Structure 1
Amino acid sequence: MITRRFSLIAVSAILGVASFAASMPVRAETQTFTWPVELTILEGCAISATPMNFGLITGQVNRPTTTAQISLLCNPNINYEISIDNGLNANGNTRRMRNPDNGRHLRYRIYSNAGLTQRWDNTANRRVSGNSGATGFISHTAYGEIRNANAGARTGAYYDTVTVTVEF
């Protein structure tokens, strides 16, 4: 019998401690940690462009034209200059699109004005320059023209890739 009584007393003691612990206030602690937050702003510009797509040509079209947008996102008030190389299929300074199926080419030009009088390439006097202004966002329209759409062209798709470079 003593063993039972001892067990009952032990159970009562444990229950008493549990109820005492439940009634004690919880102590809140504060810890601090220094957390580095960093940013480096580089002077410069990011460049992007929409595709220059002349679409579908049927029948007699002498000089098809199209446009594309070349956009810059720069730091504010950055002076820049945009040049365009002659592409992957150039013959000297002549830009050409190539049909991979038949190996034929179509000559084309890229201009910086709607009147198609100012060629845009990578020579010093044919680059587009400016300042990014207060917002840093600039968009330039590039005007494309096929030079010989009917001169020996064959049906099929023609492609080229040019590299657009921004210097700041």
Structure 2
Amino acid sequence: MRVSLSLLIGAAIAFLAPASIVQAATATTSFLVTATVLKFCTVVATPMAFGDYTSSTAALSTSTITVTCTAGTGYDIGLNEGDAAGATVTTRQMSGTTVTTARLNYFLYSDSGRTVNWGNTVGTDVVHLTAGAVPIISTVYGRVPAGQFVAPDAYLDTIDVTVTY
């Protein structure tokens, strides 16, 4: 095997060269890291069951609405009038499931004294809150007033919960 003289001389020079000639080099840069946090809310509600009703006494019940929003987000919780034809947010109506023309009036409130109607108009009759670090649970207070004489039946309604943020 033949090795050229110039290759041997180059290898010898590299071996004998001072350390200051052979140095490591670096190059650096940086990059920007970004994210945009958007306003976002989720909502979950529990059923409201009044149980057995007789016209002699009012029936009371509650439901809870759990809202989880991005921290610092202001929001309003509104409750619509329900599914019964002719119902309003001030007088909601459950419909009979077998006697379809029968209606049982009920009311929804935002306070435990059952005096503040809970409606669906932002700035008027909704609940306004600001999200923190944990979900906020709001209670809906319901009342079926005494003195309603309706046919025996199972009555129901569906309330839509709207969170505006």
Same fold (TM over 0.5): yes
- Structure number with higher helix proportion: 1
Q: Percent identity?
A: 33
Q: How far does residue 42 in structure 1 lie from its aligned partner after superposition?
A: 3.5
The structure 1 segments of at least 4 consecutive aligned residues displaced by more than 3 Å after TM superposition are 39-42
Counterpart of 2:82 in structure 1 is 87
Moved more, 87-96 or 151-160: 87-96
Q: Which residue of 1 aligns with 2:64?
A: 69
Distance in 2 of aligned mates of 1:48 and 1:61: 33
Is the CA contact 1:111–1:119 (under 8 Å) kept in the aligned structure 2?
A: yes
Distance 1:70 1:61, change over 3 A: farther
Which residue is equivalent to 1:140?
Answer: 138
Task: Provide TM-score, normalisation by structure 2.
Answer: 0.71
Gaps of 5+ in 1: 1-38
Equivalent of 1:106 in 104, 107, 110: 104
In structure 2, distance between residues paired with 1:54 and 1:117: 18
Q: How does 1:147-158 map to 2 (within 5 A)?
A: 147=145, 149-158=146-155
Range with greater deviation from structure 2 (40-49 or 116-125): 40-49
Instruction: Give the C-alpha shift of residue 62 in structure 1.
Output: 2.3
CA deviation map 1:131-166 (0-9, x unaligned): 012x1410000000013x542212110000111000
Which stretches in structure 2 are left out of the alignment for 5+ residues?
A: 1-34
User: SS of the counterpart of 2:124?
Assistant: helix
What is the CA distance between 1:125 and its match in structure 2? 1.5
Tell me the distance in 2 between the aligned counterparts of 1:90 and 1:108: 14
C-alpha distance 55-75 of structure 1, shift in aligned 2 (>3 A): same
Match of 2:14 in 1: none
Cα deviations by residue, 1:54-92 (Å, 9 ceiling, x for unpaired) = 1123x4542111001001011111100010100000525
SS state at 2:84 partner:
coil
Change in Cα spacing, 1:77 to 1:61, as seen in structure 2 (3 Å) is farther
Q: What residue number does 1:125 align with?
A: 124
Task: Tell me if structure 1 keeps the 8 A contact 2:43–2:163.
Answer: yes
1:167 alignment counterpart: 164
Are the structure 2 counterparts of residues 88 and 60 from structure 1 closer, same or farther at C-alpha, using a change threshold of 3 Å?
A: closer
- What TM-score do the two structures reach when normalised by structure 1? 0.69
**Count of aligned residue pairs for this structure pair:** 127
Q: Cα RMSD between the aligned structures?
A: 1.8
